Amino acid sequence: MSKLLSQLKPAKGSTHKEKRIGRGEGSKKGGTSGRGHKGAKSRSGYSRTPGFEGGQMPLYRRVPKFGFRNPNRVEYVPLNLRTVQEWVDKGRITDTVDMDMLYEMKFISKTDKVKLLAKGELKSPVTIKVNKASKKAVEAVEKAGGKVELV
């Protein structure tokens, strides 16, 4: 029993009549139109700013500022040897790990930089091309018969 587009209507009880505000005292929503008496909330165009506490000094101004965000900081995505070994075991990689491959695997985004870290152990000889690597990670990769190339 399919209906035509012109026969579609909302399910029974799912819609409500619009409140008719400011249409006289008989409607019970006349006079102040359900907004109470005076004050900012009764005015048109009112919108409370985030963090407003009714005139009390807001928290974000009571608490002092601290810290420093270095605009020149370079963030690296960590790549552990354990992760590389898991990929080898699952057959996702064979002999080389490079930035394009990490992007295709959705491990990094296009602009990310990667640092190889020595957490876990590597048993397979793999060539790894990354932006940075720890000394221990380089030693572990070379011990397994692979090599690390810095891009």
Residues of the chain above pLDDT 90, percent: 78
Rounded to an integer, what distance in angstroms lies between the CA atom of residue 117 and that of residue 133? 6
- HSE on the CB side for 66, CA within 13 Å? 3
What is the number of domains present in the chain? 1
- Whether 63 is in a domain gets the answer no
Confidence of residue 3 (pLDDT cuts 50, 70, 90): confident
- Whether 107 is in a domain gets the answer yes
- Whether 85 is in a domain gets the answer yes
- Whether 101 is in a domain gets the answer yes
79 - beta bridge partners?
A: 116
Tell me, what's the pLDDT at 2?
A: 75
**CATH code for position 92:** 3.100.10.10
Q: Which two tokens stand for residue 48?
A: 């409370």
pLDDT digits (tens, 9 = 90+) for 52-66: 998 899 999 999 999
pLDDT digits (tens, 9 = 90+) for 122-148: 999 999 999 999 999 999 999 999 999
Cβ-based neighbour number of residue 97 at 10 Å: 25
Confidence of residue 16 (pLDDT cuts 50, 70, 90): very high
Tell me, what's the pLDDT at 40?
A: 87
Domain span at residue 134 reads 76-150
- Whether 99 is in a domain gets the answer yes
- What pTM did the predictor assign? 0.59
In this prediction, residues 90-108 reach a mean pLDDT of 92
- Whether 53 is in a domain gets the answer no
- Whether 103 is in a domain gets the answer yes
Tell me, what's the pLDDT at 1?
A: 64
